[in-house]
Amino acid sequence: MNENQFDIRIENTSLYYGSASVFKQITHYFASKAVTSVIGPSGTGKSTLLRTFNRMNDRIEGFRATGDVWVGGQNIYEEDIDVYALRQSVGIVFQKPCVFPKSIYENVIFGIKRLQPERKKEFADLTEQALRKVSLWTEVKDRLNEPGLSLSQGQQQRLALARTLISKPDILLMDEPTSSLDPRSARAIEDLILSLKENHTIVLVTHNIGQAKRVSDETIFVCNGEICESGPAEKLLENPCCQETRDYLNQGR
């Protein structure tokens, strides 16, 4: 198996906050152009792991990563990495939809307006493409200049996704993207995840086992600073082999 065909590979990676370690020597190859869901008890560092892949943890005092973290062919914790370019090719969507107090259009182009100002002429087209990808275009095409905050929570989350997709990232990180949404909006996001995996490698942190079953191809279960178990989502969620996984899955029933 050629390791370069994986968009995200971690090898002997340890993550620390100060002297406390969050993960010890974990290794995993994330399936490309597929959805990998990360599940596990609260406080085990699922978000920390996710945010390692676009170095969003850099902002946190005391955070440290050792070992190799390969993302899109680069070992991203090496010194000469352009973190800002990395974050454009590794998009992230957070738990709570975050829409800036600006128009819908300004929200979609928020990043590229500042990072790729030379492409100004394409912005209108790119906006349409991005909004179509998140199935928001027909809903908002006549009101692009209205405030982004006038949209519903579910629409706001799709808007946030469009804002990320406009810079055409290969990888999408999703940190419990539906946990603050109503069930219908959550379903809409799940449908999007399924349609986006054709062209994107997606890592999804979720507490919702049903969601993990519905959208993911692979699942990893993290607990006590390690990856206890990983494998095809269906097998791991239906028939886990590790005791911790079984206990965790049983809690929800």
The contact set with other proteins (CB under 8 A) reads 54, 56, 59, 61, 84-88, 91-92, 94, 96, 98, 100-101, 110-111, 114-115, 160, 163-164, 167
Return the C-alpha torsion angle 184, 188, 194, 196, nearest 10.
-160
Q: How far apart are CA 168 and CA 154, in angstroms?
A: 22
**Pair 194, 215: CB distance under 8 Å:** yes
**Minimal distance, residue 148 CB to other proteins, in Å:** 12
79 exposure class (CB count in 10 Å sphere: 0-12, 13-18, 19+)? exposed
**Minimal distance, residue 245 CB to other proteins, in Å:** 30
**Minimal distance, residue 84 CB to other proteins, in Å:** 4
Q: Where are the alpha helices (DSSP H) in 116-196?
A: 123-133, 137-140, 153-165, 183-196
- Is the CB of 56 or the CB of 192 nearer to other proteins? 56
**Minimal distance, residue 61 CB to other proteins, in Å:** 7
- Is the CB of 43 or the CB of 101 nearer to other proteins? 101
- Is the CB of 163 or the CB of 221 nearer to other proteins? 163
- Is the CB of 114 or the CB of 121 nearer to other proteins? 114
**Minimal distance, residue 99 CB to other proteins, in Å:** 8
Amino acid identity of residue 32, one-letter, is S
- Is the CB of 160 or the CB of 196 nearer to other proteins? 160
Return the C-alpha torsion angle 206, 169, 31, 178, nearest 10.
10
